[in-house]
Chain A
Amino acid sequence: MKKLLPVLTVILLICVVVILFVSLSKKQNMITIQKGNFQKQPLPIKTGHVNDTQCKMIITDTTHACEVIAPNGNTWFFDDPGCMILWLKDKTFNDKAVMWVKTVDTKKWIAAKKAWYNQTDKTPMHYGFGAREIYKKGYINYEQMRLKMLRGENLTNPRIRKKLLGY
């Protein structure tokens, strides 16, 4: 029995190492939606593991991240406020959805409708709308940002870019 114990120990140790290595090497499933967020609070985004539902990009930076929560608790993630607006436009729960944006100035999650938006930020999809908590001259509100986004009046439009950035 005494001779068997070290052998058994080594076998079990190998088991632990193999399980950990196999698990770590497995490809992580990407998250595009999370269900059950009945509190409708912003969920933490694990960078590199969450897809933007609109542009399909993997969210690797949460500086401009947004979340939309449907009345049934389903939550979708976006890397750019512009993506959120485009995705929401034809949804039936459009007016009942809870929207969160991460602010560039205070790094907090705040209600998208209460945020102010700069128009010339470097956002992942280059729409340019970066959320702010504290108002400064030149910032626009949510409704103005939404309309500009739907009309295509953002930095991806060369005419608007020329007007706002000069090139």
Chain B
Amino acid sequence: MDIFLSNQVLIFLFSESILYLLSFIAFLGAFSILRKWDFSAHTTAQYNLEKKAFLIVTIIFFTLILKIILLPYFAYTIDKLALLIPGAMCGAGVISANIYGNPLLALKIIILFCVGIWLIINHLDQKAINYPYFKIKFWFYLFIFTLLSIEYGLDIAYFSNISTKDVVQCCSVIFGISGSNTIAFNLTVTMLLVIFYVLYSLTILLSIQKNSLLLFVVSLLFFYIGYQSVVHFFGTYIYQLPTHKCPFCMLQKEYYYVGYFVWSSLFIGVFFGISNFLLKLLIHHEEPTLYRYTIIFNTIFVILCSSYVFVYYIKNGVWL
């Protein structure tokens, strides 16, 4: 419970509580709107519902935008907690301090993707004259609210179960040190890089061809391989240390907070890659501009990662 003395944890949980309260109010509103909504009716009740719907959508929009901002703040919070927890050198040790940490982080990323989809549907709905996606966006919000409820429970469980006395593992132990092969699919570093650049090329080609289904599959694979590549290869160039393999240390000041740019460009690129297929599933509509965003953000991610390797080689004349 000592962890609640940390300013960052207090701010984070306070913000999460307020946002959850707002999302709960929106949930109640959304539920009543879905029960009584009839767009073709010209009654006072329907008119009032439309006014109420506008308010609820505004609350949801506000809440979800803040949820996006809270994810980097969560990363910042767990990074700061490394100073308080014995054994932790960065967020990696803190996030694995108990069984709730990793599921919580995974859930936050899933929610981030769902929120993005909801925002796109809302944007398309408000652009149209007759609110064609009105019901689906509220149903989808109910699904997001379920995830938000699980997330809020996990937030509380995670922070209240962090001990400041028990020793946690350092990132070099969690993500493998010399001699171990912890890369996914039993890949070597060389093959990992080959598959990384092949998948990147595929996301570009599939975006140009506007093939949403294949782009969805390839983007998810690129997400995983991109993560593995940063941990096992590109990260070592960011840290300039071949044995340092960690996705969290790069979020620190010593590395100019570059981790926030690396991970956000990957998340955004993958999000736009998978979004068109999900939009097709949910509203039978796709947005051609999203393909362009996939290309832009994936390219930023690949250039950002690759530039560390090339700059290191130019400066030192050797590879790590």
- Seen from chain A, the residues whose Cβ lies within 8 Å of a Cβ on chain B are 5-6, 8-9, 12-13, 15-16, 19-20, 23-24, 26, 28-29, 31, 33-37, 39, 41, 43-44, 46
Contact = CB atoms under 8 A, between A and B. Distances in A.
13 contacts: A5-B205, A5-B208, A9-B202, A9-B211, A12-B205, A24-B185, A28-B186, A31-B179, A31-B180, A34-B177, A44-B173, A46-B180, A46-B182
A132 B221 CA distance: 42
B185 to A, nearest CB: 5
A34 B180 contact: yes
B202 A13 contact: yes
Contacts of B211: 9
A26 B170 contact: no
A26 B181 CA distance: 13
A112 B214 CA distance: 52
Nearest to B194: A19
Contacts of A29: 181
Contact of A23 (B172, B173, B186, B206): B186
Given A15-B198, A20-B195, 10 more contacts: A5-B205, A13-B214, A16-B195, A16-B199, A19-B194, A20-B185, A23-B185, A34-B178, A39-B169, A41-B87
Range, interface on chain B: 20 to 34
A129 B232 CA distance: 38
Contacts of A37: 173, 177
Nearest to B222: A16
A80 B198 CA distance: 45
A24 B186 contact: yes
Given A5-B208, A6-B209, A35 B178 contact: yes
A18 B127 CA distance: 45
A15 B87 CA distance: 42
B126 interface: no
Which among A26, A28, A39 has the highest number of chain B CB atoms within 10 Å? Answer: A39
Interface in B163-193: 167, 169-170, 172-174, 177-182, 185-188, 191
Closest 10 CB pairs between A and B?
A36-B177, A23-B187, A34-B179, A9-B205, A23-B186, A36-B178, A35-B178, A12-B202, A23-B185, A39-B170
A34 to B, nearest CB: 5
A36 B176 CA distance: 10
B89 to A, nearest CB: 9
Contacts of B32: none
A104 to B, nearest CB: 19
Contacts of B181: 28-29
Nearest to A37: B177
A105 B109 CA distance: 35
B201 interface: yes
Contacts of B185: 20, 23-24
A20 to B, nearest CB: 5
Contact of A16 (B173, B174, B198, B206): B198
Contacts of A35: 177-179
A36 B208 contact: no
Nearest to A2: B209
A72 B209 CA distance: 55
A39 B87 contact: yes
Contacts of B167: 41
Nearest to A29: B181
